[in-house]
């Protein structure tokens, strides 16, 4: 019997009507003969609203309490979805993350899944029920509630799929697949039918939020096939799986952009060994994620060190930068939160010279100035002015000829993107 895990994002369950439509879809899969587990996100903008409420109480709330708060969003969804399935005359049972044995580390607000003890899910499936699981949440071995970071319901779904040996993990969202760029920015973006874990990992890491980065890592590590598709239509979406010889090897698979980071610069740092080590030790101790790093050429024994970090980590980064400036006798630190990253991803880059040159030329022709550059074997990322990032995405998309057919984007303004 086919075993399917289906994940529904915030927009897909954003209203009672949408919730009923999702229930109908789940029941249809069951009637077609599958054992179905549905993983759900908080409705619409609920997670953002909870974050906003917390910020009004305390700009830096205790992370344990933050998780306690955020986990409530998904708990509302699972109960309502189970009710919607009952209303259609079918048996469903809802479980929180802790109830289905999603065991995480102690990294409150960005916890990592260590283990899935899926017996309870399997038993409920054996009883002929549809199982509904709250996304985005888990529990530490000593019983603390944790959340997995924004977009974490995708990771719950993949982890449950691995835990019960599902045939496929379907991620239902408000677009009908992974496109060559965010279709809300490049209206002529093209849907990708099949993509390798490797390329999807780079796209997700570069900001293509349609699939959460950790979910793709988990899928690759456990061999889970992902089918990313729309909860609004029945058209096939994008399959994410191990690369094989049948896959078309595009030189460039897509363009991604990310406006969630800021640039921190520590100015006039004495240029001597150990300086970078002490700056980044401070950042690591403050639990600040650091992405791109650049150290400028030294002048008169002084240098500047810049790095990018998620805006969500800025409160902690500022405090750590204060300590680093004092320790090193640097002049000051500054933050630029109007930057954005634009990335070009493609496995064929490894063997095709000239991609970087064409990328920089396309940006320059669009009058986009490049601030920082970083590369991996299959990705080139440029930091640009935030206000120019959408123009940059379109310029790269055009330059590399990534467009093709019409794009379907479901616009649901009343309940937003859910994240
Ligand atoms: P959900 O709430 O269902 O998890 P998300 O908002 O997390 O949905 O992800 C879907 C959104 O991802 C789309 O609405 C789209 O704007 C955005 N997106 C960014 N990059 C891409 C891409 N390359 N392909 C498709 N969608 C993308
Ligand atoms: N509700 C959480 C968020 O908005 C998790 C998710 O939707 O995947 O980030
Ligand atoms: Mg998402």
Do the two domains 261-335 and 339-411 of this chain adopt the same fold?
yes
Shortest-distance Cα residue to atom 4 of ligand 2: 419
Ligand 1 centre to CA of 159 (Å) is: 20
Give the predicted TM-score (pTM) of the model.
0.92
Phi-psi group of 261: left, alpha or beta (phi > 0 → left; psi -120 to 50 → alpha; rest → beta): beta
* Digitized pLDDT (tens) for each residue of the chain, 419 residues in all: 899 999 999 999 999 999 999 999 999 999 999 999 999 999 999 999 999 999 999 988 999 999 999 999 999 999 999 999 999 999 999 999 999 999 999 999 999 999 999 999 999 999 999 999 999 999 999 999 999 999 999 999 999 999 999 999 999 999 999 999 999 999 999 999 999 999 999 999 999 999 999 999 999 999 999 999 999 999 999 999 999 877 767 789 999 999 999 999 999 999 999 999 999 999 999 989 999 999 887 788 899 999 999 998 998 999 999 999 999 999 999 999 999 999 999 988 888 889 999 999 999 999 999 999 999 999 999 999 999 999 999 999 999 999 864 333 444 433 333 33
Ligand 3 centre to CA of 406 (Å) is: 23
Three-state DSSP state, 397: helix
Ligand 3 centre to CA of 46 (Å) is: 13
CB atoms within 10 A of CB 341: 25
The listed CATH number (3.30.450.40, 3.40.50.300, 3.30.2130.10, 3.40.50.720) that belongs to domain 261-335: 3.30.2130.10
Mutation to probe ligand 2, out of 153, 171, 216 (largest number of atoms < 8 A from CB)? 153
Residue 407 DSSP label: -
- Could you tell me which residues come within 8 angstroms of residue 129 by beta carbon, excluding any fewer than 6 positions away? 91, 92, 93
Domain 339-411 has CATH 3.40.1280.10: no
Confidence (pLDDT) at 98: 98
Exposed / middle / buried, residue 3 (Cβ in 10 Å: 0-12, 13-18, 19+): middle
Domain ranges of the chain: 3-174, 261-335, 339-411
Class of domain 3-174: alpha beta
The partner residues of 306 in beta bridges, in order of sequence, read 265, 294
Which structure tokens are listed for 309? 């970090």
């Amino acid at each position: 019997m086919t075993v399917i895990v289906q994940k529904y994002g915030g927009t897909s369950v954003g209203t009672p009507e949408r919730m009923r439509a999702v229930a109908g879809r789940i029941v249809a899969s069951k009637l077609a003969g599958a054992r179905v587990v549905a993983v759900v996100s908080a409705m619409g903008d609920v997670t953002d609203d909870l974050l906003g409420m917390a910020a009004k109480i305390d700009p830096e709330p205790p992370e344990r309490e933050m998780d306690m708060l955020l986990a409530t969003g998904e708990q509302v969804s699972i109960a309502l979805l189970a009710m919607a399935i009952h209303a259609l005359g079918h048996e469903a049972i809802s479980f929180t993350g802790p109830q289905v044995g999603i065991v995480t580390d102690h990294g409150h607000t960005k916890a990592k899944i260590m283990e899935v003890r899926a017996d309870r899910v399997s038993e409920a499936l054996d009883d002929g029920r549809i199982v509904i699981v709250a996304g985005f949440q888990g529990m530490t071995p000593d019983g603390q509630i944790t959340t997995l970071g924004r977009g974490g319901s995708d990771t719950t779904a993949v982890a449950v799929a691995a835990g019960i040996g599902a045939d496929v993990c379907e991620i239902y969202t408000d677009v009908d697949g992974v496109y060559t760029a965010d279709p809300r920015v490049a209206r002529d973006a093209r849907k990708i039918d099949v993509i390798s874990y490797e390329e999807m990992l780079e796209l997700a890491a570069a900001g293509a939020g349609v699939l959460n980065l950790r979910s793709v890592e988990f899928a690759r590590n456990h061999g889970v096939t992902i089918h990313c598709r729309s909860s609004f239509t029945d058209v096939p979406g994008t399959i994410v799986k191990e690369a094989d010889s049948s896959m078309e090897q595009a030189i460039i698979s897509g363009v991604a952009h990310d406006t969630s980071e800021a640039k921190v610069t520590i100015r006039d740092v004495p240029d001597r060994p150990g300086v970078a080590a002490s700056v980044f030790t401070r950042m690591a101790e403050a639990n600040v994620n650091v992405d791109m790093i650049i150290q400028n050429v030294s002048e008169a024994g002084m240098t500047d060190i810049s790095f990018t970090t998620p805006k969500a980590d800025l409160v902690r980064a500022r405090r750590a930068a204060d300590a680093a400036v004092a320790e090193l006798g640097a002049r000051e630190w500054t933050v630029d939160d109007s930057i954005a990253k634009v990335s070009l991803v493609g496995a064929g880059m490894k063997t095709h010279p000239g991609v970087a040159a064409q990328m920089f030329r396309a940006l320059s022709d669009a009058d986009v100035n490049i601030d920082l550059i970083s590369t991996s074997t299959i990705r080139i990322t440029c930091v640009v002015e935030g206000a120019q990032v959408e123009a940059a995405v379109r310029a790269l998309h055009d330059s590399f000829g990534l467009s093709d057919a019409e794009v379907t984007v479901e616009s649901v303004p009343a309940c937003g993107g859910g994240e």
